[in-house]
Amino acid sequence: MGVIVPTVVTSDGIRLRVLLVAAGAVAILGLVDDMRPLSPHSRLAVEGLAAVAVVGAGGHVKVFGNWVDYVLPVLWIVVITNSFNLLDNMDGAAAGVACVTSASLALPAMMVGQRGVSVLLVALACGCAGFLPHNWTPARIFMGDAGSLFIGFVISASALFVFARSDGDASVAGPLMVTFVATVDTCVVLVSRRRAGRPLMLGGTDHVSHRLRRLGLSTGQVALALSGTAAVTCLAVVPILWGWVPAPVPLAVGIGLGGVFVWLLLKVPVYPKHEEQLRTT
């Protein structure tokens, strides 16, 4: 409510109201899932419908010039929503990344005239900032699915609204750079579990945060490293909007760096030794 109320009071745009209603539905979905775990199909169905509403309200890209420009954003919102849910695996990690991401994205939103979206993102950043001291290691409260799914949905949908009027390359580069940390974490988890023959939807200590801990970082240092990376990649979209850098350049750099990070992080052992031995024989 601390995020939704200020946004409703300061904005009357139909596009933003659709986003808020959809995000509220996703938050309720997460709350229900916290109290009584739902099936993956039920979760994906609600998230998909919420994403369809956002895309229908104008949150689509301009790349192919056909129906794909509407389908891909729906899939992307669902993926990023769950990516932030996966990122909530260590004290301060998801809250820190969400705080700097929403705060950093608020500037591009204001630059393109999305005042309501900017207010929403600032409110989300303030909410995460207020939550973070209590979630910092050792955490006294936790985000849960209600919080992480809501945050992931708001950030992904807001990114699409911010870059909806940009050309094809910018409308892809912007959202990808904004969600760089969550995307890399999801890729690392899916690839490593696939290679190890482990269930993709099963929780585990194989996320980027856990791998950084294996490399010697403390829990607080991991949260700071992830948050700092998110701040850099989010602010990298500002030169794109100002026209200082052609969109394909940061897009190529982001994809390249993301691939390198995934490759390096996959080398950090996180599974029992006997599983690693079976995988390599």
- pLDDT, one tens digit per residue, over 226-274 is 999 999 998 888 887 777 777 778 778 888 999 999 999 999 988 876 4
Return all residues near 183 (Cβ < 8 A) that are at least 6 apart: 80, 83, 176, 258
pTM over 0.85: yes
Q: What whole-number distance in Å separates Cα of residue 244 and Cα of residue 237?
A: 10
- pLDDT over threshold 60, residue 118: yes
- The residue ranges of every structural domain in the chain are 4-280
Buried b (16+ CB within 10 A) or exposed e, 11-35: beeebbebbbebbbbbbebbebbbe
Tokens of 193: 């579990």
End-to-end CA distance of the chain: 53
Distances in whole angstroms, Cα of residue 107 to Cα of each of 6, 9, 50, 118, 242? 18, 20, 25, 7, 12
Integer Cα distance of 8 and 23 in angstroms: 13
The pLDDT of residue 280 is above 60: no
Distance CA(248)–CA(109), nearest Å, equals: 20
User: CA 93, 96, 98 angle in degrees (round to 5)?
Assistant: 105
Which tens digit of pLDDT belongs to each residue from 55-103? 988 877 777 778 888 898 999 999 999 999 888 888 889 999 999 999 9
